Homo-oligomer: A and B are copies of this chain.
Amino acid sequence: MYLPPHFQELNPDIISQIVATAPLACIVAQTSEGLVANHIPVLAKGRDTLIGHVALANDMHRLMADGPPVLAIFRGDHGYVSPNYYPTKALHHRHVPTWNYQVVHMHGTISFQHDTRSKRAVVGLLTRHHEQGLNGDAAWRMADAPADYMAQMLDNIVAFQITVTRILAKSKLSQNREPIDGQGAADGVRASGQVALAEHMVQRLADKREG
């Protein structure tokens, strides 16, 4: 990934936040059938492990059975930035359009687990993570489903683990602009409906003022 120093995201808390708020990873590998990508919700376990599961019917676990290098892509909020957003445009017109976004690339190797214990553990962790965040005390639990049904569900999946060896993260948030243009860009992005992205841009501007 093209990663100029001013857009490189080095803050591990922000990297974790991007992964946590955009957990539907796009997992890519070069296989005997060419480039294969699948969109799979994953969970970070510590700093260097991702876990998840795929359908048994998903060829991915056969095509990647020998543990090839994979790239897990987490894309956060993104949006178009018009030159019209920059107040200094009126002064010198030296601006062009761009796109802001936050993204995390985790490179590593993948392995698959077919045993029931591993599969149950992954499903349990993912479920707890998402359900407690969304539904709190009313969280759905695996134990809510009949045992025969859950056994059948577990028979139809394969668990996986990605051991992460390299992380590249990018926060392209107009932080390379003059402050007045950074603020204008955030206002414009917010007005265009990309509210979450605008919040990240405003936060980055504040961090830059303080830092």
Contacts and interface: CB of A to CB of B under 8 A. Distances in A.
A140 B83 contact: yes
A206 interface: no
Nearest to A84: B140
A145 B69 contact: no
A54 B93 contact: no
Contacts of A26: 26, 73, 75
Interface residues on A, range: 35 or more
Contact of A93 (B41, B138, B149): B149
Contacts of A11: none
Interface string A70-101: 11010100101011100001001111110101
Contact of A69 (B34, B60, B101): B34
Contacts of A89: 140
Nearest to A172: B39
Contacts of A170: 39
User: Majority SS of interface residues in chain A?
Assistant: mixed
Contacts of A103: 39
Contact of A54 (B2, B73, B130, B144): B2
A105 interface: yes
Contact of A97 (B38, B57, B107, B127): B127
A128 to B, nearest CB: 10
Contacts of A167: none
Interface of A: 1-2, 4, 24, 26, 28-30, 34-39, 41, 54-55, 57-60, 69-71, 73, 75, 78, 80, 82-84, 89, 92-97, 99, 101, 103, 105, 107, 123, 126-127, 130-131, 134-135, 138, 140, 144-146, 149-150, 153, 170, 192
